[in-house]
A and B are shown apart, each in its own frame.
Chain A
Amino acid sequence: MDERDDDLHTSIHATHPVVGTELTFGSVTDKISAIVLKRKTPIGWFVGFAVSFALFQLMLLTITKMLFVGIGLWGVNVPVAWGMDILNFVWWIGIGHAGTLISAILLLLRQKWRTSINRFAEAMTLFAVAQAGMYPIMHLGRPWLAYWLFPYPNTMGIWPQFRSPLMWDVFAVSTYATVSAMFWFVGLIPDFATLRDRANSKSFRIIYGMLAMGWRGSARHWHRYETAYLLLAGLATPLVLSVHTIVSFDFAVGIIPGWHATIFPPYFVAGAIYAGFAMVLLLTIPLRKIYGLESFITMRHMHNMAKVMLATGLIVFYGYLIEAFFGWYSGNQYERFMIWNRMHGPYAPYYWTLILCNGLTPQFLWFKKIRSNLLLLWLISIVVSIGMWLERFVIVVTSLHRDYLPSSWGMYKPSQWDWGMFIGTIGFFFALLFLFIRFLPMISIFEMRTILPEAEVDEG
């Protein structure tokens, strides 16, 4: 590293440290574990949990009704047989991308700032993937036969259709869910031990004790732990790219104008990371305020996440431009019509709102002043989340509703039960998050300790 780089590095560190300089080993542990063990649960927690739990009931109601009457309950019908059930699946799974990116890729790239947000982002990932997984299973119509998707020696003597990307999806999403859960759990083990040792009630000691799996923090434990964690990070890294690539294949392999495009995999992956970081910002900004975690999640994190959002947002916008360009450049009348229809057809307002949300809004992040204003950053994250939802709506619905044959054209309108399911999964997601911040350390205690100034060893 030459001198100039060194200076630059120090200056960023000085203005926006990764961690508050006043923290010590002891205070880090105290502060984070107190949220779970000592501090009185804020009244807002109960209100928030009650509201999200109530919304979760809406999801259960929708699913129950769907089991009785079938997926005709939702607004899907030919030609738009993929409606909100599939677009919400893609939306949720996209949100679930920030977690692995932060925990695995940034770990391998030795980005220290990941430490304050990785636990939370991983939890968010897991909960988002849980919501995502429900949609395609319910979309099957007969969800009790969902196990048919797995290749097992069944009495029908047949395998699933391995040539279908819908099949690959099953593997991609289930692998992603498993590896994310493993990564999250392994990362939690030393902290479970801390909670076990600090818990006052016996039942909490037993529960955290079981989860800590006999962790004593010996040198051998740490050695094995570090190896396992690195291996899991290596396993998780390709998944960040593979999952949304395969989700994009669900569309790109189909010969529908607007789906059948080679740009889809990279553009979907970028969109997923974009949506994921928006969701992390959306949740951490209020959370750090409420729980007073400003010295853990500093402005440095906010800037970095905003920058990742800007970069991936630009890739996504490039994707939109290329889609339009190729629609024209293909010379194919169906492709041309598809782009024209997106911009001028019945769903044109959705398209232009999408461009506004995902193309123009992130441009504000070029400005340091805006990145430093948490309220604006929070609002931008909401706009981006809505934009990513619109993106999937535009891809799924506008491509399908104008088929090759004008005689089969139709319109799609989500039914009230579509919204019931969507709002219900949001409720479920937040209910899980509320439980998480109440019962588990939302910031990795032991990893935070390693990045404190106190942990710096002078090797000179």
Chain B
Amino acid sequence: MPQIFRHSTNYLARTTIFGAIFILFAALWVTAEIARSGWNTGAYIERQQPIQFSHKHHVGDDGIDCRYCHTSVETSASAGMPATAVCMNCHKQIWADSPYLKPVRDSFKDGKPLEWIRVHDLPDFAYFNHSIHINKGVGCSTCHGRIDQMPVVSQTQSLQMEWCLECHRAPENYVRPKEKVFDMEWRPRNSSKAEIAEGLDLKTKYHIQKPDVLTSCSTCHR
């Protein structure tokens, strides 16, 4: 009776059996990487807006404070999007005839708000409140990155739960003095020993809750 399999089948069998373990781990690793990539999370993907509005110009060059437009950030859950009237405070004087700003002028005339494209979109099952973060010393740039350097805003963080928990488990690594919250140039996280010690002091000073409260399910999933 002739052989059923050729001699090379031995090598094929050995490689596939031993290789299976590596293939399995590689597949898991690739899956984990894809789940965290910008392709899945939307991080670093620039969203074109209805108007060519540049944060780099308004914040970085002109030095306008975040709160000039995002007025409710210190007091409510949403940071707030500015009414067209806020834009017109300046733009009825400067660049008043610019064709780029036509949609703004139209909106002001019609009373129909501009429709901005949302960049940072948390899932609806996660409760998030801007004001508590601002009032406990979490700076804008910690989550949103260097907005003052972005002509078109994109997410710089994954916004995945593991990212939220990084801070909720150890707030001392991220908190900063309250007066520096809107400072774009302040360090986004505390890395050195001295910085973390400062973070720990602030944690006490601002009465930031213990991690078991901050990481309780119902803190964010209400």
Contacts and interface: CB of A to CB of B under 8 A. Distances in A.
Interface of A: 152-158, 196, 205-206, 209, 213-214
Interface string B156-173: 001011111110000000
Given A156-B160, A156-B161, A158-B161, A213 B13 contact: yes
Contacts of A152: 28, 32
A214 B162 contact: no
In the complex, the 5 A-B pairs of residues with the closest C-beta atoms, listed nearest first: A157-B162, A156-B161, A155-B160, A157-B165, A209-B4
15 contacts: A152-B28, A155-B36, A155-B158, A155-B162, A156-B160, A157-B161, A157-B162, A157-B163, A157-B164, A206-B4, A206-B5, A209-B5, A213-B13, A214-B9, A214-B10
B203 to A, nearest CB: 20
B96 interface: no
B35 interface: yes
Contacts of B163: 157
Contacts of A158: 161-162, 165
A205 B162 contact: no
Contacts of A154: 162
Contacts of B164: 157
Contact of B162 (A156, A196, A206, A213): A156
Chain A residues touching B, majority SS: loop
A158 B211 CA distance: 14
A205 B162 CA distance: 52
A153 B32 CA distance: 8
Contacts of A205: 4
Given A209-B4, A214-B13, A157 B166 contact: yes
Nearest to B166: A157
Given A205-B4, A214-B9, A214-B13, 10 more contacts: A152-B28, A152-B32, A155-B158, A155-B162, A157-B163, A157-B166, A206-B4, A209-B4, A213-B13, A214-B10
B45 to A, nearest CB: 17
Interface centre among A154, A155, A156, A214 (most CB of B within 10 A): A155
A206 B164 CA distance: 54
A250 to B, nearest CB: 22
B118 to A, nearest CB: 21
A150 to B, nearest CB: 11
B47 to A, nearest CB: 22
Contacts of A156: 160-162
Contacts of A214: 5, 9-10, 13
Interface centre among A157, A205, A213 (most CB of B within 10 A): A157
Interface string B26-52: 001000100110000000000000000
A156 B161 CA distance: 4
Nearest to B169: A157
A156 to B, nearest CB: 4
Contacts of A153: 32
A153 B35 CA distance: 11
A148 to B, nearest CB: 12
A196 B4 CA distance: 9
A156 B35 CA distance: 11
A232 to B, nearest CB: 17
A192 B1 CA distance: 17
B164 to A, nearest CB: 8
A153 to B, nearest CB: 6
A68 to B, nearest CB: 22
Contacts of B35: 155
A342 B161 CA distance: 46
Contacts of B166: 157
Contacts of B28: 152
A153 B161 CA distance: 12
A131 B100 CA distance: 65
Contacts of A213: 13
B65 to A, nearest CB: 33
Nearest to A209: B4
Interface centre among B4, B160, B162 (most CB of A within 10 A): B4
Contacts of A206: 4-5
A175 B119 CA distance: 44
A155 B161 contact: yes
Nearest to A157: B162
A154 B35 CA distance: 9
